[in-house]
């Protein structure tokens, strides 16, 4: 009977949004960093639209108590995934309250520690995962007004969605109360806890723009957030609909899973984009900044009804981010990015058979092909009509869920454009229409030259030499010159020497970087010219140049190491880690090798972010510097929440296990590891 009831309930769940409308939720939670757990009291207000006997709230591995409906206790069941409320619900307004405890296995991440004074706690609910730390709804179609009170140690700041309505201390704890005025999907709920400095600006329309940063990175505030206000003002004007929330915050957090996440009114993004003046040239936050902000309209204000229509979020955010960059960097940049994605899509279409209008489509399809579809549509119906349709679409479906047809309906009101054919070509087909794309690209003069360069890819250098020479000496946009350098990669050095010299003389950072990365075997006659790359204001160029010069000219290694001994690089210490690796591997270089090795090993430890650790481990393994501490740090990597880093750890352990001596070292290490590490290593040892 119990199983029959559950089967009936499952059928009921599919109908829940038609029978029940959750309106608001007040959550009061406390987060414990020591036990990595959450406790809280939750109060939901909902309307029953038609009688129903079971209501569910998604709740992963939670325990509940004091479950009351309209101040009366009611029966409930938990199955590990949901809180099931069993009651003869009738039409009308209801008030539900309960207490809960959770120990999230994902979605809430605890990074650093209080001991090392770098503790951060942040959430990432992408898709449907907020129910791991807060009882909510995995169904994006259930939109609720969230009000959150978070209690935590007063030494830290707490950020969440909406306006901070109240903040007060109670002993050594602080209560932070945030309030939303409009509904949103649960996956957009967030909290971030840590030590942050805040800078404040206001948009032209009066929206507060709060930008946070770790106090140690305060000198990087301006380059990190450069153009933020300009992006905000541009998007609000271009979209034609006022920013839908009362405030906008941006917070970089350690060990973040993605580039950024558009939580309603508050974007979290990876510290990879926290850069200084030099780092800005290689790792600008501008595109991610614009993309996540665009999501505040496309994704947060209106949300795709299902995965099939995911392009309505990612395609729009990608395209509007490009439009924002066009405003900042110019038309040539805009078209160069469209060209870049067109080449990716053309290549991917050879093997990718899943179209955009499919929940299983690739990220490349949702993001880049979705953006191309919008560019084609905007060009086809005209900018004025496109803007009018988008504005109407957003206003009509504000705070609701949408389908592609909803968007098309608004297009039909402003144009008789053939949407059936458009959809078939750009959304329902897995191919990429390069002919149409190239026609649109050719509207830009720089791209006309770019397309000519691309046509010459398989031609002998002698046939294209004069054209390349003339182009490198012209004022054409730098991406065209980068493409030329790329085509020279496999050519004989003597044949391309003069062209590489011209590329260096452009004094463009990106063009010079193309030379640094593609010319790995450097003849003596080109050494002095190549050495100038060491002085470029680009950490990426310096990394390429230092390694390649060290690798090519053994007699000058000491000179190169002396020149670069104080280099640090990005936040992931790319230049410092490279220098340490090269210093260790240069026997004649006068340095305390033991001290240098210890510093490099330390960078591979859990004291640092995954990107830094992986960088250090790669060099240690490549230069065959392996000891017990390094093996232990590698095993620890396999337990990391960032899948890329954990995969890196597993793959490298598999390779190392082929060496009998190292296998024995891993086996000896096993008993000293913690439970998670033991599980991962034992599994790898048994493969």
Q: What is the CATH number of the domain that holds 72?
A: 2.60.40.1730
Same-domain status, 360 and 327: yes
Same-domain status, 88 and 142: yes
CB 650 within 8 A of CB 667: no
Same-domain status, 118 and 218: no
Distances (CA, A) of 59 to 88, 141, 413, 540, 595: 21, 17, 43, 44, 49
| Contacts of residue 351, Cβ cutoff 8 Å, sequence gap at least 6 | none
Question: Whole-angstrom Cα distance, residue 24 to residue 282?
Answer: 44
Same-domain status, 166 and 28: yes
pLDDT per residue over 248-301, tens digit each?
A: 999 999 999 999 999 999 999 999 999 999 999 999 999 999 999 999 999 999
For residue 617, give the nearest of 665, 651, 570 by alpha carbon. Answer: 651
Question: Whole-angstrom Cα distance, residue 315 to residue 324?
Answer: 14
Same-domain status, 80 and 182: yes
Q: What pLDDT does residue 115 have?
A: 82
Q: Measured at the alpha carbon of residue 76, what is the angle toward residues 70 and 80, in degrees to the nearest 5?
A: 135
Q: What pLDDT does residue 15 have?
A: 66
For residue 210, give the nearest of 200, 220, 221 by alpha carbon. Answer: 200
CB 273 within 8 A of CB 291: no
Same-domain status, 163 and 179: yes
Whether residue 72 lies inside any domain: the answer is yes
- Extract the tokens encoding 678: 């033991």
Which residues, given as ranges, of the chain have pLDDT below 70? 1-15, 127
CB 639 within 8 A of CB 677: yes
Give bridge partners of residue 30 from the DSSP assignment: 39, 151
Question: How many C-beta neighbours within 10 Å does residue 490 have?
Answer: 9
The CATH code of the domain that includes 334 is 1.10.390.10
Same-domain status, 34 and 165: yes
The string of DSSP letters for 7-76 reads HHHHHHHHTHHHHEEEEEEEEEEEEETTTTEEEEEEEEEEEESS-EEEEEEE-TTEEEEEEEETTEE--E
Same-domain status, 207 and 276: yes
Whether residue 493 lies inside any domain: the answer is no
Q: 3-state DSSP call for residue 664?
A: helix
CB 231 within 8 A of CB 238: no
Question: How many C-beta neighbours within 10 Å does residue 672 have?
Answer: 10
Whether residue 118 lies inside any domain: the answer is yes
Question: How many C-beta neighbours within 10 Å does residue 598 have?
Answer: 12
In the block, tokens 């992986």 appear at 614
Domain residue limits at 280: 196-297
Q: Which of 369, 402, 432 is the last residue of a domain?
A: 432
Whether residue 643 lies inside any domain: the answer is no
H/E stretch holding 99: strand 92-102
Whether residue 486 lies inside any domain: the answer is no
Whether residue 12 lies inside any domain: the answer is yes
Q: Which of 370, 404, 432 is the last residue of a domain?
A: 432
Same-domain status, 270 and 140: no
Count of domains forming the chain: 3
Whether residue 334 lies inside any domain: the answer is yes
Q: 212-235: b or e for each residue (b if 16 or more CB lie within 10 Å)?
A: bbbeebeebbebbbbbbeebbbbb
Q: Which of 141, 166, 191 is the last residue of a domain?
A: 191
Same-domain status, 327 and 383: yes
Q: 62-86: b or e for each residue (b if 16 or more CB lie within 10 Å)?
A: bebeebebeeeeeebbeeeebbbbe
Same-domain status, 142 and 232: no
Whether residue 500 lies inside any domain: the answer is no
Same-domain status, 66 and 170: yes
């Amino acid at each position: 009977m119990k199983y029959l009831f559950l089967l009936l309930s499952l059928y009921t769940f599919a109908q829940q949004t038609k029978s029940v409308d959750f309106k608001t939720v007040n959550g009061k939670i406390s987060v414990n960093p020591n036990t990595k757990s959450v406790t809280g009291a939750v109060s939901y207000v909902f309307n029953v639209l038609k009688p129903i006997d079971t209501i569910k709230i998604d709740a992963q591995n939670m325990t509940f108590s004091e479950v009351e409906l309209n101040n009366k206790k009611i029966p409930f069941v938990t199955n590990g995934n949901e809180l099931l409320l069993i009651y003869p619900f009738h039409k009308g307004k209801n008030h539900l309250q309960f207490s809960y405890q959770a120990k999230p296995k994902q979605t809430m991440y605890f990074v650093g520690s209080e001991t090392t004074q770098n503790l951060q706690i942040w959430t990432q609910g992408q898709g449907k995962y907020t129910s791991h730390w807060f009882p909510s709804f995995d169904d994006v179609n259930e939109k609720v007004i969230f009000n959150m009170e978070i209690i935590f140690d007063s030494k830290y700041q707490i950020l969440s969605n909406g306006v901070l309505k109240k903040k007060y201390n109670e002993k050594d704890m602080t209560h932070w109360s945030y309030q939303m005025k409009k509904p949103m999907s649960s996956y957009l709920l967030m909290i971030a806890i840590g030590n942050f400095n805040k800078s404040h600006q206001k948009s032209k329309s009066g929206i507060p723009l709060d930008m946070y940063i770790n106090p140690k990175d305060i000198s990087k505030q301006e380059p990190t957030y450069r153009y933020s206000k300009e992006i905000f003002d541009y998007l609000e004007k271009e979209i034609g609909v006022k920013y839908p929330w009362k405030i906008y915050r941006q917070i970089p957090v350690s060990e973040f899973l993605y580039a950024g996440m558009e939580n309603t009114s508050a974007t979290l993004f990876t510290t990879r984009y926290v850069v200084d003046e030099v780092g800005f040239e290689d790792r600008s936050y501008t595109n991610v900044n614009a993309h996540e902000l665009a999501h505040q309209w496309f994704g947060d204000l209106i949300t795709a009804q299902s995965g099939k229509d995911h392009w309505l979020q990612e395609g729009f955010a990608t395209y509007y981010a490009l439009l924002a960059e066009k405003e900042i960097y110019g038309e040539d940049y805009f078209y160069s990015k469209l060209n870049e994605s067109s080449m990716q899509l053309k290549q991917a279409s050879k093997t990718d058979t899943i179209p955009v209008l499919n929940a299983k489509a690739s990220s490349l399809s949702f993001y880049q092909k979705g953006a191309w579809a919008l560019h084609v549509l905007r060009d086809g119906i005209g900018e004025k009509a496109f803007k009018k349709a988008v504005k109407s679409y957003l206003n009509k479906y504000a705070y609701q869920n949408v389908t592609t047809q909803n968007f098309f309906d608004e297009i039909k009101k402003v144009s008789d454009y053939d949407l059936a054919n458009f959809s078939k070509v750009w959304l329902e087909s897995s191919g990429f229409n390069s002919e149409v794309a190239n026609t649109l690209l050719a509207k830009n003069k720089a791209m006309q030259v770019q397309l000519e360069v691309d046509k010459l890819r398989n031609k002998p250098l002698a046939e294209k030499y004069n054209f390349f020479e003339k182009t490198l000496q012209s004022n054409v946009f730098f991406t065209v010159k980068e493409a030329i350098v790329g085509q020279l990669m496999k050519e004989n050095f003597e044949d391309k020497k003069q062209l590489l010299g011209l590329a260096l003389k452009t004094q463009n950072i990106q063009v010079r970087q193309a030379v640094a990365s593609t010319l790995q075997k450097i003849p003596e006659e080109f050494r002095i010219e190549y050495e100038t790359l060491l002085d470029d204001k680009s950490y990426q160029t310096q990394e390429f140049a230092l390694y390649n010069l060290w690798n090519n000219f053994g007699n000058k290694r000491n000179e190169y190491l002396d020149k670069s001994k104080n280099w640090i690089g990005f936040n992931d210490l790319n230049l410092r880690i490279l220098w340490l690796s090269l210093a260790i591997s240069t026997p004649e270089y006068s340095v305390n090798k033991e001290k240098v090795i210890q510093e490099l090993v330390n960078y591979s430890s859990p004291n640092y972010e995954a990107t830094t650790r992986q960088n250090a481990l790669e060099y240690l393994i490549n230069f065959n510097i392996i000891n017990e501490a390094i093996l232990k740090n590698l095993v620890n990597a396999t337990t990391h929440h960032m899948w890329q880093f954990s995969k890196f750890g597993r793959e490298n352990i598999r390779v190392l296990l082929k060496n009998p001596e190292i296998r024995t070292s891993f086996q000896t290490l096993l008993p000293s590891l913690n439970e998670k590490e033991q599980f991962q290593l034992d599994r790898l040892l048994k493969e």
